[in-house]
Structure 1
């Protein structure tokens, strides 16, 4: 069936541990927007080079093929729970970097999330990541440093969820002319960087998370190592009367609506050049 011309075609490289939940989150956010969207989910082939692709992964995603990526309007690279590892230790890092090159060469709108943002900003601009003294985990107020179309109609001092063991070196990022540090958390960690002339957005917050996602992440880590219960980070500023709060829901809707608007504008500009 032919895709209507006004539909934005967006690819997602799903690297998260909870792949089905991640797929559902992006579908819920992007397909419920005013802008019609067609999503295609991919997995990195090199991640499964020595073992069969799990049945659930094969059911919800396709092997990454750059020839397919080139036909899209935009692409999202998700986070991954591997920020403690050096980039060179990642089994699919070469495949990921080939994807980065493809996205840059074809000038697709790119959204890199959490670890995906760390990997991309390191590859393109040499900005290092470093391990935090403890996991940044919970909901925190953010500080906007410069105007951005991505934060149009977003309330100053907005709250956003963070869930990571590492951050990028913002001092290094400040030395890169192409990079704009748009917003940081009030505790000083990265929230949003952009390279507008290169169609790149680096989002270090898990804005795609639903209201129960931080609780699920904590439960997953606790189940993996019950002996670490006393030292394991619990999500901060998240519970009221023991119940998780979806305090970033409005921000989530507005940010992704703004990003889709940016994707549409970029595609429109490309079509004008073609014609």
Structure 2
């Protein structure tokens, strides 16, 4: 896809030679695509050469990019005509009220100077501060990476004895979306006299080292959220860039070594061997796609569709959690259908409501057997009656406490009382176990002032005890109207006799999935108490990390491998409609979570 650049910034012959795909501003405005807005703060002396290098990298991405070129207003460039700068560049004062999807700040030939002694340091600090709140993801190149680490984290650089010069091989130290598709080892051009030690970076938990060497220091660092990327190399370099620097230094009489691993057999006379370009193109493409495009908002105001949001039991374990969920729901107007699980654990020592109701159901079964036993077993029957009453009183109090803390009206207490009378009278395990979701949905509907729809009216089972998807989706489309908002209990539906039939544990996932599919939702949100799908169980492994994105097939494999993150059967309905699944954390609603799609 093209880069949008001002007219006459680069000659057509150069664009053709460099294979840079551009588009004019007028044509861009007629396309129904939101361009990615990127600023390049160009600190290099030969600005036109640097422009070409970065335009080449950015134009390889499959997105339309709108570009702003930024220069230092407090510094007069000696190597670029002022006419060019005035025509195509802006200063910080001109862009300080703008917002950008992304920004690149280039290197600069000032690395041996103290930061505070650099003429434009104050202006650059303004830009670094600006990037914190006005740019979604910023990439700092070479010296700019060192300056940014110093400004944001107080990490100082050090001068090396000999210039770090050539094409260096790095090992991929950690998996990250920036390095998606990379081999275990990759090559990066380097040209600098300073470096940052790995041990200094590791003091900051927010920073993640993706590549490092003892002789060059860290090579690639990112913040955990990929909002700041610190790249110490020059993937944007042309074939001749290192050669030109080498010849320039020789002509100045400087003591300089042949750039390492750059010429064939390290012999200048044998010519240049380019071997960093594929990794560089992939790196920039990954950055734009995964760290910018896929996570910055794109508002589609004209599409009126309902999104289904499912909240797990831990998300709704008590009134405080209900309040958090309400804030999440009401923060987005299109969260029109809410699927809830029964209250989960409030602490490690607590029990989930569904577990308690399963226990109630089990006790009911035991009770029925005891009633058939002879008189000498009546004592055990009385004990069982007591245990059932105790457990049900515990469950009942949970719902009453939530209702009381939420200041719900007295009508809900009558519904709770009536529901528990029904539980006491019932011998149907599915009915008993389903009442946690049923009552939690009743409470949430009252709390949100949404309409309650019983899952019995929506989810149908066939004679084999399997979900009748066609009938269920027909019910959903008939009952759920576009201009209303609803709360639906998960986990159960209705069999052919009209009785309650539950899913396997985790069935609320299936309920939400079917509803999302029936309503052709854009997104199916699955809210729990972790930051998405994790690399391992965070309760057992403190080093567990969130997996930012998965395909449907990858999610299925994780489930097959034993992870209890989602009901596997719930994948098919959303996958058939290519509906994006988002795993999100109720207790950390701003976290990015895990996105699942093909």
Greater strand share, structure number: 1
Pairing 1:211-230 to 2, within 5 Å after superposition:
211-223=239-251, 225=252, 227-228=253-254
User: How high is the TM-score relative to the length of structure 2?
Assistant: 0.42
**Residue 111 of structure 2 corresponds to residue 83 of structure 1:** yes
CA–CA distance in structure 1, aligned partners of residues 64 and 281 of structure 2: 15
Aligned residues of 1:121 and 1:127 also touching (Cα < 8 A): yes
Please state whether the residue corresponding to 2:295 is helix, strand or coil. Answer: helix
Q: 1:149 to 1:216 in 2, by over 3 A?
A: same
Report the number of matched residues. Answer: 269
Question: Residue 150 of structure 1 is aligned with which of 144, 153, 178?
Answer: 178
Q: 1:179 to 1:270 in 2, by over 3 A?
A: farther
- Deviation sequence 1:2-30 (CA, Å, 0-9, x none): 64542111000001122111000111110
CA–CA distance in structure 1, aligned partners of residues 278 and 55 of structure 2: 17
Shift of 1:196: 2.9
- Deviation sequence 1:138-174 (CA, Å, 0-9, x none): 0111022111110000111111111100011322111
CA–CA distance in structure 1, aligned partners of residues 270 and 116 of structure 2: 40
**Residue 182 of structure 2 corresponds to residue 182 of structure 1:** no
Please state whether the residue corresponding to 2:152 is helix, strand or coil. Answer: helix
Shift of 1:274: 8.2
CA–CA distance in structure 1, aligned partners of residues 300 and 135 of structure 2: 13
Question: Residue 258 of structure 2 is aligned with which of 217, 234, 247?
Answer: 234
- Deviation sequence 1:16-69 (CA, Å, 0-9, x none): 1221110001111102321111221110101139xx973343344222336456
Q: 1:211 to 1:58 in 2, by over 3 A?
A: same
Map of 1:113 onto structure 2 = 141
Q: 1:45 to 1:242 in 2, by over 3 A?
A: same
CA–CA distance in structure 2, aligned partners of residues 252 and 59 of structure 1: 30
Pairing 1:46-195 to 2, within 5 Å after superposition:
46-48=74-76, 54-65=82-93, 67=95, 70-185=98-213, 187-195=215-223
CA–CA distance in structure 1, aligned partners of residues 118 and 151 of structure 2: 13
Please state whether the residue corresponding to 2:170 is helix, strand or coil. Answer: strand
Shift of 1:71: 2.2
CA–CA distance in structure 2, aligned partners of residues 246 and 162 of structure 1: 13
Aligned residues of 1:66 and 1:102 also touching (Cα < 8 A): no
Alpha-carbon RMSD across the aligned residues, in angstroms, is: 2.5
Q: 1:269 to 1:168 in 2, by over 3 A?
A: farther
**Residue 47 of structure 2 corresponds to residue 19 of structure 1:** yes
Structure whose CA Rg is larger? 2
Aligned residues of 1:207 and 1:248 also touching (Cα < 8 A): yes
CA–CA distance in structure 1, aligned partners of residues 235 and 248 of structure 2: 19
Between 1 and 2, higher relative CO (CA 8 Å, sep ≥ 6) is seen in 1
CA–CA distance in structure 1, aligned partners of residues 300 and 151 of structure 2: 29
Aligned residues of 1:115 and 1:204 also touching (Cα < 8 A): yes
Map of 2:65 onto structure 1 = 37
CA–CA distance in structure 1, aligned partners of residues 42 and 139 of structure 2: 12
CA–CA distance in structure 1, aligned partners of residues 154 and 94 of structure 2: 24
Shift of 1:191: 1.0
Shift of 1:269: 7.5
User: How high is the TM-score relative to the length of structure 1?
Assistant: 0.89
CA–CA distance in structure 1, aligned partners of residues 300 and 240 of structure 2: 40
CA–CA distance in structure 2, aligned partners of residues 271 and 15 of structure 1: 37
Aligned residues of 1:127 and 1:169 also touching (Cα < 8 A): no
Aligned residues of 1:104 and 1:198 also touching (Cα < 8 A): no
Q: Which runs of 5+ in 2 are unaligned?
A: 1-25, 302-330, 334-598
Shift of 1:193: 0.4
Shift of 1:137: 0.3
Question: Residue 276 of structure 2 is aligned with which of 229, 242, 248?
Answer: 248
Aligned residues of 2:36 and 2:66 also touching (Cα < 8 A): yes
Aligned residues of 2:197 and 2:217 also touching (Cα < 8 A): no
CA–CA distance in structure 2, aligned partners of residues 251 and 194 of structure 1: 17
CA–CA distance in structure 1, aligned partners of residues 53 and 237 of structure 2: 7
Aligned residues of 1:129 and 1:168 also touching (Cα < 8 A): yes
Aligned residues of 1:178 and 1:195 also touching (Cα < 8 A): yes
Shift of 1:242: 2.2
CA–CA distance in structure 2, aligned partners of residues 198 and 153 of structure 1: 17
Q: Which runs of 5+ in 1 are unaligned?
A: none
Please state whether the residue corresponding to 2:185 is helix, strand or coil. Answer: coil
Q: 1:161 to 1:154 in 2, by over 3 A?
A: same
